[in-house]
Amino acid sequence: MRMLTLSRLRGPRASHLLLAALIALLGASLLTLANVPRALACPVCVPPDRITLSGDGVSDTASVTDPVLLTSFSTAQFMGFEQRSPIEPPVHTGPGVELTRYYHNSGVPVSFWTQGFDHMRYYPGESGQSGYIYYEGPVSDEARYYAAGMNFWQRTDHWFALTSAEQDEMNQLLAAAHGAPRNGSAAPPPFTSPDAKVSNPPGILSVFASVPLAVVILLGCLVLLAVGVGYRLLYTHRHPQVFSPMLGETED
């Protein structure tokens, strides 16, 4: 029998292994995209750029922008992806303190900065006890679209109890609100001053900046997969005998 030599088998075996590795990488990226959106494809999972507070004990509307303080109120930690079970409506009085989270980055609609992303109401607990949050949900249709993809609707119109650590963070936020600028409108001030020269980045950079990281990884896997398929086709074209079946001829 005329058999394929080991050197001839190395080509297709390497090609098969490369394709298998690329398919596995593609599957892993898809799994990551499906199960870890907050880490790769969630532009509101970072700390908010601003939180406004209004209601009981807060005159007018206070705006807090301290990035260190706001770290504790990202959707990855507070009223977002964390494991938290709703409770029965507690005994409460008054309107509470309304909190609205705002985001200003390249991955979200402009309304997340002008109107806010979501809002909730804080109610203090009894003396020495942690308070409660009534989650009111997204503030606009665009925000509801984002929230629906992250299952935030499961929290809307529900009550939640704060932990002692969260209560301490809420106390710091309230203290900052008492010393924060106040205005009668929830519209945030722009980042640039009237005298500042605004320079916009090239359009292509803006497009890439708005693409979630998970999409970039997925596209990269597709490119690698295409390279692997191209390599296989090229190798088959140059070495057709390697992929042909064994011949049943015998040598004399």
Predicted pLDDT at 17? 65
- Domain encompassing residue 230: 6-38+212-243
DSSP 75-135: TTTSSSSS----BPPPP--S--EEEEEE--STTS-THHHHT-SEEEEEE--STTS--EEEE
Residue 196 lies in a domain: no
Residue 205 lies in a domain: no
Residue 84 has pLDDT above 70, yes or no: yes
Q: How far apart are CA 182 and CA 52, in angstroms?
A: 9
Nearest to 170 by CA among 45, 78, 46: 78
Residue 64 has pLDDT above 90, yes or no: yes
Predicted pLDDT at 114? 94
Tell me the whole-structure pTM to 2 decimals. Answer: 0.58
pLDDT band at residue 18, thresholds of 50, 70 and 90?
Answer: low
Residue 250 lies in a domain: no
Residues 173 and 77 in one domain: yes
Residues 127 and 56 in one domain: yes
- Contact status, residue 55 vs residue 98, Cβ threshold 8 Å: yes
Residues 19 and 135 in one domain: no
Residue 62 has pLDDT above 60, yes or no: yes
Residue type, 59: S
Residues 124 and 237 in one domain: no
Residues 24 and 137 in one domain: no
Residue type, 161: A
Residues 168 and 216 in one domain: no
Residue 6 has pLDDT above 60, yes or no: no
Residues 181 and 132 in one domain: yes
Residue 83 lies in a domain: yes
- Contact status, residue 43 vs residue 142, Cβ threshold 8 Å: no
Give the three-state DSSP class for 62.
strand
Q: Report the domain count for the chain.
A: 2
